[in-house]
Structure formats: structure tokens, C-alpha cells
Structure 1
Amino acid sequence: MEASSKKTSSSCLPVNIGELDIYLFGQGKHWDLYRVLGAHAHEGEKGAGYRFAVWAPNAKAVSVVGDFNDWQPGTHELFPVAASGVWAGYIPGLAHGDLYKFAVTGKYGDTVFKTDPFALFAEMRPGVAARAWGLDDYTWGDAAWMDARRAKGLPLDDAISVYEVHAGSWRWNTKEYGSFYTYRELAAKLVPYVRDLGFTHIEFMPLAEHPLDESWGYQTGHYFAPTSRFGTPEDLRFLIDACHQAGIGVILDWVPGHFPKDEWCLGRFDGTGLYEHEDWRQGEHPDWGTYVFNYGRHEVRNFLFSNALYWFKEFHIDGLRIDAVASMLYLDYSRNEGEWIPNKYGGKENVDAIDFLRDLNVVVHEHFPGASMIAEESTSWAGVSRPVYTGGLGFTFKWNMGWMNDTLDYFTKDPVYRSYHQNQLTFSMLYAFHENFILPLSHDEVTHGKGSLIGKMPGDHWQQMANLRLFLSYMWAHPGKKLLFMGCEFGQWKEWTSHEELDWVLTEFPQHQGAMELVRALNALHKARPAMHVQDNDWTGFEWVDLSDYASSVITFLRKAPDGSQILWAFNFTPVVREAYTVGCRVPGFWREIFNSDSTYFGGGDVGNDGGVMAQPTTYGGWPYFLSIKLPPLAAIAFTPE
């Protein structure tokens, strides 16, 4: 959209900002702050235009600049609002889509062009100016989804499997090589694809506006503006609406842990550390070269609170996944001695960040019943997904980084050595129910030199494909919700890069089609069988059958449901067929084979049990019955009693 070139009134006019709005902002409790600060359509005494409001308490002057005044500071000066630190004004004649910035004369007299922290839309990179935009130009069609989510409450017992997507590299527009799919094209292509594979949710890597493609959105420049790379805010609403109408939830990556230092951004906004701490030992991240939010300041907390609520309220998202929570919790995160300041108790915990996260989770869950808050937290911090009233942080789910690291490390080993490392598979069950876990196989594990998922697997081509199927089967069988990064579902060979689309040509080959069919079958089994998901977060939903057969590299366990149904899983982590392998059970009769990752449907060799086996009534290892089964090579099989 082209910006307007017409001239406007030669000065700003005063505009009223309500006393209650100012009071709530000062208290850090204005949940709709984005409707007060920023730029909003306004019908004033001189006709239609836009009103502006920005928080810059230490500024000497603030004005609005754009094409309408040749980007000249001082032409349209804003007015200070009664000792609140807010500057406001109204410009008649400004049109929807016009570009603008704030010219902020800081505490020490320097004037810097700053983007609007509450901008609802921004120009396409490399430009960083905000666009005058609106909030209420879309009619939703997902009322049934939203009502059901609200009525059901937290999805702790749901069958959740998440497909993680980087919108800029999932698939490209073939009409113009190298161009992104738009939000609406993703609605037409991505949504049916995800639905066909049976995933319940899509998690998008950050979609808030960011200037650098290579940051993948994790260095956010405009917290309230969906990126213009893929279309307008209304187009993003259309995509989310399409997901909901197809029965798919939407999770959005959110980054309240840090923000970039670019001069036009939030940093040193009024010449001082406004959104960040002044002291670099508290206000900067050495790893990422970014600023850290000052979580102890009411106005900063309110900025982040209202931003989180904004995505839920205005875009109907179903969950926020918070990136790098560990970096928020610890004052000494990735810092050496002398590079951090202890808290008021002398410890390394960031008390302000802890309070912020707890309050945020309480507010989100109160306002949006059924919505999820998800923590990527890589340490052993206790109670991340436990309620605030019990001393927890209040998240709905936590990524299980320990499971991911141990399991991937195990699978990289040649099967001949796996018997020495079986504890890497079994150890996760010691803590599997300490949190409400999501098992993540995310973008972080298939980039930056780590190689693709299938590329980590040992052996020849057949063994690599079999190991991939075995890994995914083990992941789906293990307690916890599931998350899989795009491309892993069909065994992409090359490492993921944001500069290229996925290797879709691979999906034309039978072995890769088989991997996709496996994911489709796992998702269907996961949804259809309560034993696979209802007690994901409780010991009563899991029971070891045998975890001690190190010599054979075989483990067996039960997944159980409250209705008494159960599924027996057996995993053979070697390429050797195990004939007449004995497994204990306590239910007599016929056990039907309901899943086999070695099926020809999935590209396997079809070694199996001819539909099932009969339980034998001889006591075995403390079990009253046993099954004599054939274990296919590098495969997982599942049985349920009839």
C-alpha cells in the first residue's frame, strides 16, 4: 500500500486521554492499552484523522513525522498529558495506511526517529515506519471453535500434536520463485496439509514484525504488528480463522525476553533506559546483543501484558509459546562473574521476571479460559507448569528439553552401542510427570550445523528411514504432548534454512511418502485412543513392562486410560528381528496389533504378528500372562487387548 502524499494540518490538535486509562497504565493493569496508546482513527473537530499517544516520560519533545510533513520533526508536535509521561495529539487528514514515526527529542537533547511501540502494522522491510491502521476491520467465522475452547477449559487431557512452521520457508509461491506465501495462500495450502496429516495445532515461529529475516522473528521490532511479509493484519486473521474452521488450533511464538538495539526500536526510547534497565548488567543479553525488558517497571509490564492479551483477543490465537524463559529467570544467565547484579536477597533469580511471568499467566488464564501458555525453559526450575497458588510459574505446558536431548543423542548412536545407553531412553520417566510436558522436536534441532532429523540417524538409507519411523513412533508413544518441526514429517535430508523452502520433491518418493503416512497414522491413533493422551500428565497413565533388556535394546511399556483401556508398546532399537520375544501382560485373550512402524504402508519390511497374538496363562516376571511376539527390526509395535 502506498502512503498518502497529501499534506495535513500544519500542527497537531489536543486530544483527550482518559484519567482512568492513565491510572490503570501507571498501575500496570490496563489490559487494552493498545487501544489507547499508538495511532487510532479519530473523528475530531477538523474532521477525520488519526490520534497518537506515546509513552516517553523523559523526552523533551515528541512529534509525529511522515510523508504528510516531509518527515520534518516539530511540525506536528504532541502534547504532554498531565504528569503521566504520555504525549498525545490528533492530526486531521491522515489516512488509513499512511506511514509515520515519532521524532523523540530525548533527555539529553538528541532527536531520534522512533517507530511506534504500539504500531498495529508496519511497512515491509527494510523500512521500519509504522502504518496508520485499524483493529476492527475483520468479521470472524470461528464462533463455534472459540465457544468450545472456552467451555472446555485447559487442554491438559487433550490429544495435542503440534506442527511447527516457519511461514517464510514452508513453501514458496511458484508463480514468483523465491517469494513468500501470503497469509491467505497459507490458509489455502498449509491448513489442508496439516489437517490431512492429523495435527491438532500449528505453531508459528514469531509473526510479529521483525526487520531481519535471519532472526526468524526472535528479534521483534514491532510487538503489535503482524509482519507485512505475508500480508495485512486482516490477512493473518483470515489464516487463523481458517485454521479454527478446519478444527486446528494456533500457537504463536512470543518473545518477551529481549528486544533488538536498533536505534529506531524500543531501546533508549526517550534517551534513557525506558523499556530496559539502564545498567548493562541488568539490561543487556550478551548472547544475542539485545536489551532485556525491565520487568519491575509497571508501564513495561503493562506493555507486555497488553501485547500478550492482544494476540489472544484480536487474533483469536489459542496459545503463546514463550521463547527462552530460562534467560528471564536467571540474572546470571550466560554471564560471567561481575556481569550481573544479585537480587535483593543476594541470589541469582530474577525476582521481577518471576513475578511478571506468574502474573501474566494468571491474567491470560482468567481472561481466556482454555488458552495455553507454554514455556521453553531449558533448566530444572521446579513448578514451571504448576499453578501460581502452589508456588509454580503458572504455565499450561513446558517443553521437555531433557527428553529431547537424551533421545536425540541415543538415536545418533549405532545400534551396536545402544545397549550401553538405554538409560537415555528410560531416564525421562523419572521426571515425566513433574510438569505438563510437550515433547519438542523443534527448528532448533535441525539448523545451525545440527543437521536434519533423518541425517542424525545411523546406518544405510533403509536403516535411516527405519530409525526415523522408530523415533517418531517412540515420541508419540511417550507421555506428553507432541511438537514436530516442518519437514521432519517426510524426512527432509538437508538441514533447515530460512532461505529455502522445504524439499517438497521428496514427497514424490515412496519412502518419504511412507514417513508421512506414519505421522498420519500416529496422529490418528493418538486421537482415537484415550490411553494415548488422557493421562499424559499422571503416573496412572503409564506403566513399565520391561525397561531392563539392555542386551536386546528393547523396551516395553503400557499406556493406560481411566476407562481401563490400555496399549502395549514394544520398541526394538536394533536392526535384528526378535522372534518369539516374551512380554508380560495381565489381560487374557487376544491382543490385536494396532500399529507397526515396519508396515509396508510406511515403507517398512512388513515384519509383524499377523494381526495379533494370544496371551498365554503362564506367570512371567510377576505378570499373570505373557505374549510371544515378533519384533520387527528398528521398529515400534503396539497391541491392545480385545
Structure 2
Amino acid sequence: MVFDLLERRKKKFVLWIPSGQVFTPSLVLGTFSHVPQATVTEFFTGPLKRSDIPDLWELDPKDIEPPLKNGTVYHYWFELQSTSPDHPATFRVADPFAYTVDYRATKNRDENIQPPSVTKFRDDSNGRLWPCDIDGNEPSPVEVPPQDAMSDNNHMVIYELPASWAKYKPFGGVQIDVGTFSDVLALFDKNTTGQRFREIPQVASRAIVADLGINALELLPAADAWPTGEWGYATAHYYAPDFDLGTSSELVKLVEGIHKMGIRFLTDVVMAFGHDPYISIAFTQFHLNPEDEKENPDSYVSHSGELRNPWGGTLWRYIQEINTYNPESGAQENVHPSQAFHHGQLHRWMSDFCVDGLRLDSIENIANYDFIKSYKEKAWSLYKSRYGNGSSKFLVIGEEIKNVPIDMISKDTLNTLWNEPFQERLRAAIIGESSHGDNFEWTVRKMINCTLDSAHPFTDCAQAVNYITSHDVEGFRKERLFDFLWFAHVYDIERRTKLAFTCLLTAVGIPMIFAGEEFCDQMDRPTGQKQLDPVNYERLMRDWRSRVFNYVATLVDLRKKCPALGYNDTEFIHVDQSQGGKIMAWKRGAPAQAPVVVVANFTDQDTPGTEYIVHNWPQRGREDWREVTQRRNVPKEWVGREPLMHWEAKVYTYW
């Protein structure tokens, strides 16, 4: 599938300004040098030329003097004239469609000082401009893996990973740093040392996340963001990998590395607000300020009627339609500029980095169902062009933590939503409380089977993403699980954590594990801001945390492979009313399948006596039942009769 502007920029410098630009933009071209300090030595400034299509400006590299040199890496900006008396007469911006940007020559990270874009000139018969890394390396697209090597949606276990990590200083305290794509790969491949975290034994000597066994990596936004040391939600250059995380080539290596292990690559996309060059180039065509346009329906959040919040960025405008060059088709026609821009970045990431799923940030703040649906459908079209129409190992997931806009599922706007009520119910249940106005029994029922939640009626296990913790750790009961339990004066943290993961990994829905929760990481900085709480993999060396890790890994393996956990079928076979409904058993699996049975004790008391009978146990007479978490066979006479300790769950199957 072809995206016209992305094809054009292989041969010419191209700038799309859908605004009837009066002043001719210019190209500023130079080469990077480290001597005497990092700088771009400029040697050419010249005007772009109007294309035969309105609002498209181009410059053939063969028209530049002095001539460009074959194989040379060039840095460039576009220079425009300001129409505002409050700004300098001219200003420079990065190419909004740049595949690589370079911050080395910027004196400091300032949103108003844009980095140069990077390209390589290839003096072949076409005089091409070639995508390259800052060192001139030319990345190849990710090799498409066999479809059957990837996990089905209903057997997927997602690992949500920020690239901000923490490591201890020699004399106490915590040093926060930003990982790289190579450091991420080191979590999966013990033969990859990474770049910035080689001295952490747990990263250098083992493949932590591969040992956990997850089969989908969700990387927090991998597109370039201008701040450093944060989690990538201030996206500035949507077509370029984040400069601080590494190059396109290193991202390709990461994706190909995990694909060989059968692990899907998902990435976050931020489309409600941005920090992109079009804020300066054509603000009113791409962006808006809701306070200035209160009559515009584009200014309001979906469902709530509140004004959209830019969260430090600038909101994208999605409703406006303009007759201009269509960067996808190449024709002059009616176009929604912002929608077309984001369809383009979708082409880039799906085609070059072989993305296996997308998570759309803050969907109610995007606030345009038509655009979100078109983006989802475009993503599926690109995915099917990879494998064919029979493919189904792909999802477009929406995130919204204030509400669960279930109509986005029923109207086929998205495939899947984050299931925020799961987190709320689980955190209540593991401290013995009820939630959402239900009694304790129904708190657990709706937690384990989201199709029972009449307020948010999911109808399929691939429609909901469940989680104990997410990267949104600010707010009431949102912090890391360790800290939540500690603040609740719960001190048997290992036991409660294992119970929480049993619920997560046997519930209806796609389980997602926030990096570090698998060994009960804790917060190193004050609560309240997600960016200040990186993952501290050094904690994995502590005995009790290692036990939690091994317990979670065992259940992850079951969740990935056991057919019963990939279906919606759930039956609660036991509710002990003598214990306030806080000892329960549920069975997962369709009638013809080998079931998974979970027995859970949500009380402070061990079950009395030497046995605890679950009367409705299925197929009690079989001799091949086993308890999964302890990896042991259950004698026939003890099937459905084993006692439970306080805050303990046991998981049984004969599959």
C-alpha cells in the first residue's frame, strides 16, 4: 500500500502546508560535525518550489548548488516567514515527516528550538534521498515473521514497558536514566548487553522478560518526544523513533529479536495532543485551542462535554476539512489534514517496524470517533496487506481511564479497551473490600468475568485489557501494587501479590503486566507523577521478590497455552456464604474443554480443619488433576478438598 507523500520524499525535499501559504518556504541544508563542538555547518539555503498540486512545496536535490555528494548524510530544516509581530521574521522547523531527527546540535532541549531532520543523498539514477540513522546507517524494514509464530489475541499476555529505568547509586539514593532499544532487547536476550544498564547484574546476566514468558511487548511511545527522562507522551516527531531510545536500525533489531521468540510488538500512539512542527507551520489547519473555539464541537471531550485538555501540548484538530493535496492519494481533494498526517505515520510504523498491535492514548481526548475508526481500519488494512485477509493476530486498543466508552466497541470504532474497573475491583478485593456499589461476591464475579458488568458490557475476552497496575500510577489506588498494599497497612505483600496475579491471569480479558510488577517493584520517587517512577530491575535479586516472579511466570505460561483461558466461558461453582462470600471458586473453559478451576480465599483466616470441600467440583473422579502454581499432582482423594491458607489461591487443571 502506497502513501504518496512518503514516496515523493524519497526523491525530493517535500513540505505540505495545507493553508494557501503566501510566503515561499526555504530549505536550510548542512552537515553535522563534532569539531570543535557539535554543530551543523550550513552550506545551502534556497527556496522550495510550488508543486503542480496546491499546498505542496518541493525541491529536487539535483537543483542544489554546490551539488550533493553521494553517500553523504545531510541535516536540514525548513525555514518559513512569520506572520505574527510577536515572533522573529523567520523561523525554522524540522520536517514534520522526518524519519530521523538529531538533537546533538541543539544547545538544550527546548520545545521552541527544533532539531534538524536527517537524510542521506544517494547519487543513483533517481537521485534519491535515503532514510538513514544519524551515523548514516541505512535501516531495512523489519522482516515479516511467520503469522503462525505470533500469539492469538485471546492468548496474549502484554508486558507494558517504559524505557525510564532506575539504578542505585553507590551511597544510596536512586539514579534515573533512560534506557535504549538495545537495553530493552537485553531484557529478552541475555546475549545482548544493552548500552546504559550493563552494570545491573539482573539485566546483564539473564533475559528477565523472556524468563517471565510474556508474548507481547507494549512499548510506551517509541516515536520521538522532545523532553528527556520522561515516558514519551510529548510526541514531537511522529515518523521518527525517539532520539534518546536509539536509531531506527536499533528498533528494527529489537523488533526482529522479539519476533524470533514469538513475541508481538505493540506501541503506544499519542494523537490527542502533540508538540509537532505543524504547531508552527500551519496551526489552524492542524491544531486548536479549545478556549478560543468554544462553539467548535472539536473542542470537547467525548461523552463528558468537558473541554479537551492538551496536557502541556497542543490539541490536534480533527473535524476541519480542506480542499488541498491529499498526502495519501496524491490527488487534490477534500482532506482532513490531521487525519491524513496520522494515517501517514501509521504507514511508516506498520510498514517499516512491523507493528503487531496499537494502543491509542487518551481516546476520549482525541474526541473524534470517525477518525479513530478510520485509523483502526487503516491499521487493519496495512496488517492484512502483510498477511492476507484471513489474519487476526492484531488489535487496536483504546485507553481511557476515567470512563470505559464501551460504545466504541459496540460501534466497531475500536477492537479493545482498557478495563479500568478491573483494577479498581481487584485492589478492593485483595484487601477484603467491595467495589462499584456491589457486595464482595459480585465485586469478584465482575472482576473475573467482565461480561457480567452491565455498566460496561464486554462480550468477548479480546475486547478488554485487564491490569493490576499501569503506567498511570498517579491518583487514588493507582500506585504500584507494593505501595498500594503498604499504604493500606497490608504487610503480607508477597501473599496478596500472588493472589492478585492469580485473578489477573485467570480472568476473562487480555492480561497486561506493568513492567516491574512481576517482582513487586516499588516506587522510588514520591507518588503523583508517572514519569518519576522508573523500573528498578535490581530488586529482582531479593528472595521473596524472586518467588513472586517465578509464581507469575508459571501462571503466564498457563495463560498463554491453556485453551480454557482463551474462551469467555466462566462459571462460579462455589461461594462460601459462611465466610461472607469471600471464599470462592470459579471454572474457566467451554464444556468440551479441560477446565481451569481457581479456589481463592479472600480472608484473614485459613480454612478450618484439614480439608475444605468444594461441592460442585467438575469431574472429581479424575486422577490427573494438578495444582499449577506449586507444580504438583493432586491425589484423587484430595480433588476439590484441599485446604486454603489466608489470602491464598490455588489453580487446578488436568489439561
Q: Secondary structure at the match of 2:92?
A: strand
CA distance in 1, matches of 2:424, 2:236: 31
* Change in 2 beyond 3 A, CA 1:413/1:547: closer
Q: Residue type of the partner of 2:164? A: G
1:292-346: CA deviation from partner (whole Å, max 9, x where unpaired): 32323323222111211211110112111111112223xxxxxxxxxxxxxxxxx
1:411 positional shift:
3.0
Query: Which of residues 81, 86, 102 in structure 1 aligns to 2:51?
Result: 81
Matches for 1:64-213 after TM superposition, within 5 Å: 64-67=27-30, 75-91=45-61, 92=64, 93=68, 96-106=72-82, 111-124=90-103, 126=109, 128-133=114-119, 134-135=130-131, 137-139=138-140, 142-143=143-144, 145-148=145-148, 155-157=152-154, 159-169=155-165, 180-191=178-189, 192-213=207-228
Q: Secondary structure at the match of 2:60?
A: strand
CA distance in 1, matches of 2:234, 2:359: 15
Matches for 1:397-436 after TM superposition, within 5 Å: 397-412=416-431, 421-428=440-447, 429=449, 430-431=452-453, 433-435=458-460, 436=463
User: What residue in structure 2 maps to residue 61 of structure 1?
Assistant: 24
CA contact (8 A) 2:142 2:353 kept: no
User: What residue in structure 1 maps to residue 400 of structure 2?
Assistant: 377
User: What residue in structure 2 maps to residue 440 of structure 1?
Assistant: 467
Matches for 1:5-24 after TM superposition, within 5 Å: none
Q: Secondary structure at the match of 2:59?
A: strand
Query: Which of residues 561, 580, 588 in structure 2 aligns to 1:528?
Result: 561
User: What residue in structure 1 maps to residue 381 of structure 2?
Assistant: 363
CA contact (8 A) 2:429 2:443 kept: yes
CA distance in 2, matches of 1:595, 1:280: 61
1:201 positional shift:
1.1
Shifted more, 242-251 versus 556-565: the winner is: 556-565
User: What residue in structure 2 maps to residue 34 of structure 1?
Assistant: 6
User: What residue in structure 1 maps to residue 326 of structure 2?
Assistant: none
User: What residue in structure 2 maps to residue 26 of structure 1?
Assistant: none
* Change in 2 beyond 3 A, CA 1:362/1:504: closer
User: What residue in structure 2 maps to residue 585 of structure 1?
Assistant: 617
Q: Secondary structure at the match of 2:584?
A: strand
CA distance in 2, matches of 1:508, 1:380: 38
Q: Residue type of the partner of 2:316? A: F
Shifted more, 123-132 versus 396-405: the winner is: 123-132
Q: Residue type of the partner of 2:152? A: P
* Change in 2 beyond 3 A, CA 1:289/1:183: closer
* Change in 2 beyond 3 A, CA 1:280/1:363: farther
CA distance in 2, matches of 1:630, 1:88: 75
Q: Secondary structure at the match of 1:409?
A: helix
User: What residue in structure 2 maps to residue 619 of structure 1?
Assistant: none
User: What residue in structure 1 maps to residue 539 of structure 2?
Assistant: 506
CA distance in 2, matches of 1:251, 1:96: 33
1:251 positional shift:
0.6
1:156 positional shift:
3.3
Q: Secondary structure at the match of 2:317?
A: coil
Matches for 1:224-373 after TM superposition, within 5 Å: 224-260=239-275, 265-270=277-282, 272-277=283-288, 280-281=293-294, 282=298, 285-286=308-309, 288-296=311-319, 297=321, 298=335, 299-329=337-367, 350=368, 352-353=370-371, 356-357=374-375, 359-361=377-379, 363-368=381-386, 369=391, 370-373=393-396
Identity %, equivalent residues: 17
Q: Secondary structure at the match of 2:100?
A: coil
1:258-300: CA deviation from partner (whole Å, max 9, x where unpaired): 113xxx7321423x41212475443583351433323233232
User: What residue in structure 2 maps to residue 452 of structure 1?
Assistant: 480
User: What residue in structure 1 maps to residue 593 of structure 2?
Assistant: 564
CA contact (8 A) 2:600 2:650 kept: yes
Q: Residue type of the partner of 1:128? A: Q
CA contact (8 A) 1:548 1:555 kept: yes
1:414 positional shift:
7.1
1:104 positional shift:
1.8
* Change in 2 beyond 3 A, CA 1:542/1:178: closer
1:567-618: CA deviation from partner (whole Å, max 9, x where unpaired): 1111111231114322112424146563465x5x9xxxxxxxx8425479xx
CA distance in 2, matches of 1:319, 1:375: 11
Q: Secondary structure at the match of 1:513?
A: helix
CA contact (8 A) 1:463 1:634 kept: no
CA contact (8 A) 1:121 1:131 kept: yes
CA contact (8 A) 2:177 2:229 kept: no
CA contact (8 A) 1:118 1:223 kept: yes
Aligned residues: 543
Give me the TM-score of the superposition, normalised by structure 1: 0.75
Gaps of 5+ in 1: 1-28, 43-49, 330-349, 602-609, 617-625
CA distance in 2, matches of 1:305, 1:319: 15
User: What residue in structure 2 maps to residue 12 of structure 1?
Assistant: none
1:504 positional shift:
3.0
Q: Secondary structure at the match of 1:627?
A: coil
CA distance in 1, matches of 2:308, 2:185: 36
Q: Secondary structure at the match of 1:571?
A: strand
Q: Residue type of the partner of 1:301? A: Q
CA distance in 2, matches of 1:230, 1:289: 22
1:634 positional shift:
0.9
1:199 positional shift:
0.5
1:394-422: CA deviation from partner (whole Å, max 9, x where unpaired): x332211121222223335579xx99634
CA distance in 2, matches of 1:169, 1:90: 44
CA distance in 2, matches of 1:173, 1:90: 52
CA distance in 2, matches of 1:73, 1:106: 23
CA contact (8 A) 2:28 2:76 kept: yes
User: What residue in structure 1 maps to residue 412 of structure 2?
Assistant: 392
1:460 positional shift:
6.8
User: What residue in structure 2 maps to residue 632 of structure 1?
Assistant: 645
Shifted more, 132-141 versus 570-579: the winner is: 132-141
Q: Residue type of the partner of 1:61? A: T
1:236 positional shift:
0.9
Q: Residue type of the partner of 1:230? A: L
Q: Secondary structure at the match of 1:434?
A: coil
Q: Secondary structure at the match of 1:53?
A: strand
Shifted more, 288-297 versus 208-217: the winner is: 288-297
Gaps of 5+ in 2: 33-39, 120-129, 133-137, 190-206, 300-306, 322-334
CA contact (8 A) 1:187 1:243 kept: yes
1:201-221: CA deviation from partner (whole Å, max 9, x where unpaired): 111000111111365211210
CA contact (8 A) 2:141 2:351 kept: no
1:441 positional shift:
3.6
1:468 positional shift:
0.7
Q: Residue type of the partner of 1:89? A: L
Q: Secondary structure at the match of 1:132?
A: strand
User: What residue in structure 1 maps to residue 199 of structure 2?
Assistant: none
User: What residue in structure 1 maps to residue 580 of structure 2?
Assistant: 551
